[in-house]
Amino acid sequence: MARKRKPLVVNGVTVELDAPGLTIIERSNGEVHQYWRVSEEARARGYLPRTVRLYYDLATMAGCLELERRCKLLTNEMLAWLGDPEGQKKPVYDGTIAALIRCYQTDKNSPYHGLRQSTARVYGDWCRTLERAIGRRRVDRLSGQDIRDCFLSLMEPAAPGGAPRVRLAKSCTRSMLSILLSYGAELGLPGCLDLAQVLERMILRVPQTVKRAWKAARPKKTGMTYDQAAAIVAEGMRRGTRRHRSVALGVAAQFELTTRQVDVIGYWERIDRTVGVEPDSIVDRGQVWRPGLRFEDLAAGQLDFETSKTDTRAVYDVTAYPLLQIALAGVPCLERRGPLVADDSGMPVRRRHYWDLYREVADAAGVPRTVWNMHARHGGATEAQQAGVNLADIAEHAQHTDINTTRKHYIVPSVETSRRVAKQRVAHCQAKRNTP
């Protein structure tokens, strides 16, 4: 039998709290911690949260009454869950950021379950970072200044002397927190709509000193050149194994078609009740392969597919890309079926293994380590821009829905562009002088 809780004394009056689930712990240093805990049955059935940290002023009668009300509310939610046959899936919101995150990730109707698994992993990382930073704070008690403090705190280097984590701070506060609050507002959860509106109107500026330190630590934007791509293709074909030829095919496709790595190699997704498996799907270790490029897609000389990220339709004349044709020509006829990027057994190459293979081939080809596999797509877009191709055409070729994305993130600044501009300006000036 549980030990009876020691009565509280408020202003000389003994108070018997009617607060089911309450645990009060007095530390040796005098600190008093308040917790609400689930019952043993709820814990055994997997109810979450198992513990809720409480913050009430036990020196006042008003604080004690608020504590009672809070514990009863949490207990009633737990009891409702225990009596619900679908309770295993029912999220519980206790008003904190941590609970909002838990609801977003466990609610069967949440948009979180519509994300691709690679995106869900990134969102999960951002959610864990937010939970560590402000997970215990109540949504309805957070202000814009609290969000700004969180933004500045997350920006601090992970280790002394390290680079500021500007990208992480922006992603967690501006993107992930906004997604969470929008989800909460959709369900009418208290405080979510008001805080979402505050966040939407906020300007979160990076301090100049931090911005300078961040830019100094960032590597310069690099685009793979045609010569580097050709060297990787040649080295992959020279090695002669299927997995190395796959690197040649992957780089050639990313560079020539300016398409994403995931659209070339595909991705693996865990099989569960929400993930369907077609009869002809490739399945391995409880995961199903979501197709990237296949040899069958290129057999007719024309590639017509929808991108995985934006569902943008893209159509290519495969015969118009010499480097891709060289890589395809080096593939034995018996291997020209199934995934374009495969290991020696013919199974699709997993993402991390593909990165390792790329680095192995790129090192052997003499390509600097600053040139990553993802830079093949950037390099193709930059080469097109240097050739004078219209920016709108480059954006469409790269499957971008916003031309500013192409201009800002995919076109690498080069001296050739400035030389071309200077040459045209000089020619224009000379023509004006020669005009009578």
**Does the pLDDT of residue 27 top 90, yes or no?**
no
Taking residue 54's Cβ as centre, other Cβ atoms within 10 Å add up to 20
Q: Contacts for 302-310 with beta carbons within 8 Å, 24 or more apart?
A: 303/257, 305/263, 307/259, 307/260, 307/263, 307/399, 308/116, 308/260, 308/262, 308/263, 308/267, 309/260, 309/262, 309/263, 309/399, 310/399, 310/401
Question: In the predicted model, what is the mean pLDDT of residues 32-45?
Answer: 85
Question: What's the pLDDT band for 90 if we cut at 50, 70, 90?
Answer: low
How many whole angstroms separate alpha carbon 160 and alpha carbon 153? 14
Average pLDDT, integer, range 31-47:
84
Q: What is the rounded distance in angstroms from the CA atom of residue 301 to the CA atom of residue 304? A: 10
Average pLDDT for 32-49: 84
* Overall fold of domain 226-419: hpI Integrase; Chain A (1.10.443)
Looking only at the bridges linking them, the beta strands covering 8-10 and 13-15 are antiparallel
What average pLDDT does the segment 194-211 reach? 92
Greater model confidence, 428 or 376: 376
Question: Model confidence over 224-282: pLDDT tens digits?
Answer: 999 999 999 999 999 989 999 999 999 999 999 999 999 999 988 877 655 567 777 88
Contact 377, 260 (CB under 8 A): yes
Question: Given a cut of 80, is residue 415 above it in pLDDT?
Answer: no
What pLDDT score was predicted for residue 241?
A: 94
Domain limits, the chain? 1-90, 96-218, 226-419
Average pLDDT of the residues of the chain? 85
For residue 5, pLDDT over 60 is answered with no
pLDDT of residue 1: 36
For 331-366, write each residue's pLDDT tens digit: 999 889 999 999 999 999 998 899 999 999 999 999
Question: Could you read off the pLDDT of 311-322 as tens digits, one per residue?
Answer: 778 889 999 999
Question: Picking from 4-18, 132-146, 261-275, which range would have the lowest pLDDT averaged per residue?
Answer: 4-18
Highest mean predicted confidence (pLDDT) among 68-72, 74-78, 151-155, 268-272: 151-155
Residue 218 has pLDDT above 80, yes or no: no
pTM, entire model: 0.65
Look at residue 3 and tell me whether its pLDDT is greater than 60: no
Does residue 2 have a pLDDT over 50?
Answer: no
